[in-house]
Amino acid sequence: MELSNIIKSSFKYPFDIPKWAILSILTIIANLIIVLPFLFQIEEINNEILFLISIIVSIFVLGYGISILRNSIDKSDDMPDFNIKNNFIDGLKHIVVSFIYLIIPFLIFVALSYLMNITAYNFDLVTFSFTKTTILNQTADSIYSITETATPTLNVIITLIITFIISVVFALFEIIGLCRLAKYNSLKEAFNFKIIVDELKQKGLKLLIGIIVLCIITILLSVILSIFNFISVGIIISLIGYAYLTIFNYRFIGLLYTE
């Protein structure tokens, strides 16, 4: 399936109105901690309870996303039915897979920062050094400052570049891992690194291009949806739109993986 057909299919897929409506309700419930104060101007809210509700429902939504992946990989055009038990278990597995694949780039960043002796102060020096270089008639003091900051600035830039590249690679690992989780219903398969690396070699470029396109579409739609937040009940409309976007994303990734 060509990328254009994947996009078309993903846009059409959420229009199973009853199931989209259920996911929209779940999305609204998961965001009650935002919705209630916004709509009803409630000053005293038990945030702990709302936060717990948000976590539980969000896990369920993530699990339903795995079901969408599974159906899409199986090339089914029907949205999956909701299953409280299975969706919740799949949601927990989703969190485990995403956490492990996303924590690795963070740990690498921390290790690189330590090895290159980078601190928050060094990040400030990046901005500081750029400010210094914009001064045309530099004094001896400014030239000395630029020289002094060159090494930490270079270390920061190198660290950020390496971290970015590693993050992109592990994001692709995560996507393949989630698809394998959906396909085989197995956490073990989600971390079958030998197979995942082989699949990344085979379809890595196509996946990367597809994910870039998906990110662009998601950002554009998110910007449009955010406009509704400026009207009284707009946040509800916005969250319904985000439910659509959730279905769209998982459908897109599932179809992209199968090709």
| pLDDT at site 66 | 98
Query: What is the rounded end-to-end Cα distance, in angstroms, of the chain?
Result: 6
Q: Which residues of 51-61 are buried (b: 16+ CB within 10 A; e: fewer)?
A: eeebeebbbbb
| pLDDT at site 50 | 82
- Report d(CA 10, CA 223) in Å as an integer: 19
Label residue 78 by pLDDT band (50, 70, 90).
very high
| pLDDT at site 152 | 60
133 φ/ψ angles, rounded to the nearest 5 degrees: -70, -15
- Does residue 58 contact residue 76 with C-beta atoms inside 8 Å? no
- Report d(CA 234, CA 246) in Å as an integer: 18
What mean pLDDT comes out for the span 21-30?
Answer: 94
The long-range contacts involving 195-204, CB below 8 angstroms and separated by at least 24 positions, are 200/169, 200/172, 200/173, 200/176, 203/257, 203/259, 204/172
- Report d(CA 48, CA 53) in Å as an integer: 9
User: Which SS3 state, helix, strand or coil, does residue 23 take?
Assistant: helix
- Does residue 175 contact residue 207 with C-beta atoms inside 8 Å? yes
DSSP string, 199-211: HHHHHHHHHHHHH
Label residue 219 by pLDDT band (50, 70, 90).
very high
What mean pLDDT comes out for the span 31-36?
Answer: 74
Count CA within 13 A, CB hemisphere, residue 237: 12
Please tell me the pTM assigned to this model. Answer: 0.84
Label residue 14 by pLDDT band (50, 70, 90).
very high
Least confident residue range of 30-34, 118-122, 236-240, 246-250: 118-122
Q: Is 226 or 152 the better-scoring residue by pLDDT?
A: 226
What mean pLDDT comes out for the span 182-203?
Answer: 93
DSSP string, 184-195: H--HHHHT-HHH
Nearest to 243 by CA among 3, 20, 12: 20
- Report d(CA 69, CA 87) in Å as an integer: 12
| pLDDT at site 122 | 52
* pLDDT surpassing 90 at residue 35: no
Least confident residue range of 41-45, 69-73, 251-255: 41-45
Q: 44-63: per-residue pLDDT in tens?
A: 666 778 888 899 999 999 99
How many other CB atoms are there within 10 angstroms of residue 30's CB atom?
Answer: 23
Q: 123-173: per-residue pLDDT in tens?
A: 554 444 444 444 344 444 444 444 444 456 777 788 888 989 999 999 999
Residue located via tokens 């399936």: 1
| pLDDT at site 140 | 46
Nearest to 23 by CA among 50, 56, 61: 61
Label residue 259 by pLDDT band (50, 70, 90).
confident
* pLDDT surpassing 50 at residue 72: yes
